[in-house]
Amino acid sequence: MERIFRIISQSSATFLFFVLIATVSVLYLYAKPAIEQFGTYFIIDPRWGVEVTVKESPTKAIQTTPSSPQASSEPTTTPTEEENLEDEDTQASISDDENLDNLDAGLDDDLGGEDIDAQITSDDEDDFEANPTNAAGEKTEVVYGGAVPIVGTIFSTAIAMLFSIPIAMGIAVFLSEIAHEKLVAPVGIAIELLAAIPSIIYGMWALFYFGPFIASIFGGHSVSLLVAGLTLGVMIIPFMAALSRDAINTTPDVLKESAYAMGATKLEVTKDIIFPYAKAGIIGSIIISLGRALGETMAVAFVIGGVFEFAKSVTDPTNSIPVVLANNFAESSGLSMNALFYLALILFVVSFIIIFAAKHYFLRRNKL
């Protein structure tokens, strides 16, 4: 009995490991055709489901070459700086136009599935430009690229963080330092309960009320990158505030009291005593919230628009990885399905890294 119990419990712990490995390997397995087809170029390719003629004649090959350096110069501009948004978008639209040009006579009613099979079995590795081995003349292939949802995910998360960090910190400080004692318990519980509300509720609220509200202030559509980011922000506020408050509350009263005794104001105590002391915990809570915002589906699915275009301004609709997965999964097959698995794998790996970063911070706090 003793032994059996031990073995059972150990194997259930191992089961957890097994599930994680299975997740990664299954995602990889299903994403493999897409990975082989597109390689890492997938990450910077802004096209989704665009049919492209595979080039054979040299003149057309020249036509495509200018688009590739532009497209590949994108990753340098992709990171989150707002100023780069504009040029990046113009670049993207330029390469989009060129792709539209490429989309020519080759549409001779081939079924997509046949194409895909042909592509998977054909031995050219990834790029649609570099495959003169096929002497069969022109044929079309469908190109999938993940740049739009990836950029959309990054920007919506960035907007969410910019919006939610100040407010969550305000709530946390308010609850732990400023609020009257009678207020602390009810507000604290309210915040924690709000953190438990299903995210689909936030999505519905944003679709019917928040989106139009934001659109009436900033103009533009009621489904847009901005609305999606702000909705995400509102959603993670209670979560982040509750975690940060817990971190702030770990500051020993003695430290605060001695600072007050020196004549420090509340601002100085907060700035110089509490934040330095609880820094690791606060950063950890921010990173965990970031991980949550990154993988959030339902709050965003209603309001981001779900179109495969870069947002030219923040009030335009775009797309994000979880939303692509949610909207396009059911009706896709073959290569597009593989491309979706590729996106899922990217999302999984990114959130994996983020959580490890968070754990790193928490561990550092434990050592102190």
Partner 1 sequence: MRLFLNKAFLVLSTLTAILGLLFLGWIIVTLVSKGMESLTPYIFTHDLVDNGIRNLIWGQIVLAGLATVFGIPIGVLAGVYLQEYGNHTKYADFIRDLSDVMMSAPSIVIGTFIYAIMVIPMGHTNGWAGIAALFVMMLPIVVRTTDDMLSLVPTELREAGMAIGASKYHVIMHIVIRAAKVGIMTGLILAFARIMGETAPLLYTSGSTIYMETDLSQTYPAMTVSIYNLATMPDEKLVSLAWAAALVLTLMVLGLNLLGRYIIKEKR
Contacts of partner 1 in 1-40 (CB under 8 A)? 1-2, 5-6, 8-10, 12-17, 19-20, 22-23, 26-27, 29-30
DSSP label of 223: S
User: Cα separation of 139 and 144, whole Å?
Assistant: 16
Give the one residue of 44, 54, 207, 278 binding partner 1; rule: CB under 8 A: 207
Query: Measured from the CB of residue 330, what is the shortest distance to partner 1 in angstroms?
Result: 5
Greatest extent of the chain over all pairs of C-alpha atoms, in Å: 85
Query: Measured from the CB of residue 206, what is the shortest distance to partner 1 in angstroms?
Result: 9
CB-CB contact of 169 with 248 (8 Å): no
Give the one residue of 171, 227, 228, 236 binding partner 1; rule: CB under 8 A: 171
Angle at 360 between CA 355 and CA 362, to 5 degrees: 95
In the block, which residue shows the tokens 């330092």?
177
Interface segment toward partner 1; rule CB under 8 A; list 105-113, 116-124, 138-146, 318-326 = 318-326
Query: Measured from the CB of residue 311, what is the shortest distance to partner 1 in angstroms?
Result: 21
SS3 318: strand
For 242-286, give the DSSP string.
Answer: HHHHHHHHTS-HHHHHHHHHTT--HHHIIIIIIHHHHHHHHHHHH
Contacts of partner 1 in 323-342 (CB under 8 A)? 325-326, 329-330, 340-341
Query: Measured from the CB of residue 112, what is the shortest distance to partner 1 in angstroms?
Result: 19
Question: If binding means CB under 8 A, how many residues of this protein chain bind partner 1?
Answer: 86
Query: Measured from the CB of residue 59, what is the shortest distance to partner 1 in angstroms?
Result: 42
Structure tokens at 218: 């900033």
Query: Measured from the CB of residue 45, what is the shortest distance to partner 1 in angstroms?
Result: 20
Residue closer to partner 1 by CB (options 86, 208) is 208
Residues paired with 141 in a beta bridge = 52
Residue closer to partner 1 by CB (options 218, 348) is 348
Q: Which residues of 74-102 are buried (b: 16+ CB within 10 A; e: fewer)?
A: beebbeeeeeebeebbebbeebbebbeeb
Query: Measured from the CB of residue 299, what is the shortest distance to partner 1 in angstroms?
Result: 10
Give the one residue of 61, 136, 178, 185 binding partner 1; rule: CB under 8 A: 178
SS3 164: helix
Main-chain phi, psi angles of 49, to 5 degrees: 65, 25
Contacts of partner 1 in 67-126 (CB under 8 A)? none
Residue closer to partner 1 by CB (options 112, 295) is 295
User: Cα separation of 309 and 147, whole Å?
Assistant: 9
Residue closer to partner 1 by CB (options 105, 262) is 262
User: Cα separation of 276 and 278, whole Å?
Assistant: 6
Is there binding between residue 168 and partner 1 (CB under 8 A)? yes
Is there binding between residue 215 and partner 1 (CB under 8 A)? no
Residue closer to partner 1 by CB (options 14, 57) is 14
Q: Which of 69, 72, 42 is nearest to 145 (CA)?
A: 42
Residue closer to partner 1 by CB (options 118, 326) is 326
Give the one residue of 40, 209, 258, 364 binding partner 1; rule: CB under 8 A: 209
Give the one residue of 70, 76, 267, 364 binding partner 1; rule: CB under 8 A: 267
Give the one residue of 159, 237, 282, 311 binding partner 1; rule: CB under 8 A: 237
